[in-house]
Amino acid sequence: MLRLALIYGGESEEHSVSCVSALGVRKAIDPEQYEVIEIGITRSGKFVLSPIEPDWQLAVAPEVPDDAPEVIWPVGGGELRLASGISLGKIDIVFPVLHGPNGEDGSIQGLMQLCHIPYVGNGVMASALAMDKARAKAVFSDAGLRVAKDVRITRASYMLNPAGELAKAQAMLDPDCFVKPARSGSSVGVSLVKTQAELKPAIELALSYDQTCLVEERIKGREVECSVLEKKTGEIVVSLAGEITVVGREFYDYEAKYLDGGAELKVPTELTSTQLNEMQQLAIKAFQALGCQGLARTDFFLTDTGFVITEVNTMPGFTPISMYPALWQASGLSYSQLIEQLIQTGLGFGADPR
């Protein structure tokens, strides 16, 4: 029986989302094939041996406890251990169900490579690139994909010349714009700005989450997504498309995604065969441009003039209402089959750096 470490929680604002995602993954893993070691990361960044609770849901904001036994990773290879010295044995593969900074951005992937442990999902470079929306957009543009226009502001540039940076940002108010951290997820730190007076606090909010923020034109169109999966053979397949319709609010923010039913998810959604084929090909192009491996969710706006890519999510949510597994379910691949394919692909990559 293979030994699988399921890592969840983390330091990001998506801590509770990761906990609930991990619960879904844990239920789907075949207990006859894998011994699962459940490892949480506390909000302060400590790795601990902590069970995933079967009644977790986002409404109660689950957290990894600080007082659980601390885990020490075997940098250079070897056995996983508790800080007390007790051995937890060797790990055959890690499944990092982590969202946001210090989890989805290549950090955990780099740690696993230092420990010589295979892992599920994308490697260091693709994880870091996709997490940084500013750099990812540059890669997408080079690959010929359409992206939204933006102005980029760093903490340093804002501190040195706030008036000048605000003047640049104001040019994006046509008539409104989005302000977002370059590296964040689940719409954390994102603001829809409609007036000059709203611009300054929105920029400062975004810069409180990351060193760079984007002031981005607002794209009008249908919000559509598809799921990308790389099989163990190297074949890349794309799901049917899903669509998000926001209800009772102006954009798809954190609350709409997870808490109050502020959005309707249509899985699958109606696209012409030509539109679906184009979207799937663009998703593969984005996946390959970033150097992705294993899985990704690719998000677009479908406008009157075609598709505009918004982001590639290298570790999408696996909660009961998450789009990534729901799209595969609609495409004929069950949740448990999806998890097994992801594990097998990760095992196929081995412990080589990627």
Domains (range + CATH), the chain: 2-119 (3.40.50.20), 129-146+220-349 (3.30.470.20), 150-217 (3.30.1490.20)
Nearest to 184 by CA among 149, 123, 134, 219: 134
Token pair of 123, please? 């490697």
**What integer best gives the mean pLDDT of the chain?**
93
Amino acid at 125: M
pLDDT tens per residue across span 294-320: 999 999 999 999 999 999 999 999 987
The pLDDT of residue 249 is above 70: no
Q: Cβ(179)–Cβ(4) under 8 Å? A: no
Confidence of residue 183 (pLDDT cuts 50, 70, 90): confident
Lowest model confidence (mean pLDDT) among 28-32, 70-74, 183-187 = 183-187
pLDDT recorded at residue 174: 84
The pLDDT of residue 248 is above 60: no
Distance CA 354, CA 351 (A): 9
pLDDT recorded at residue 261: 59
The pLDDT of residue 338 is above 70: yes
Token pair of 63, please? 């957290």
The pLDDT of residue 260 is above 90: no
The pLDDT of residue 158 is above 70: yes
Whole-structure pTM value: 0.91
3-state DSSP of 34-67: EEEEEEEECCCCCEEECCCCCCCCHHHCCCCCCC
Distance CA 286, CA 296 (A): 10
Confidence of residue 187 (pLDDT cuts 50, 70, 90): confident
Confidence of residue 347 (pLDDT cuts 50, 70, 90): very high
pLDDT recorded at residue 289: 98
Q: Cβ(246)–Cβ(301) under 8 Å? A: no
Q: Cβ(153)–Cβ(169) under 8 Å? A: yes
pLDDT recorded at residue 13: 85
The pLDDT of residue 255 is above 70: no
Average pLDDT over residues 193-203: 94
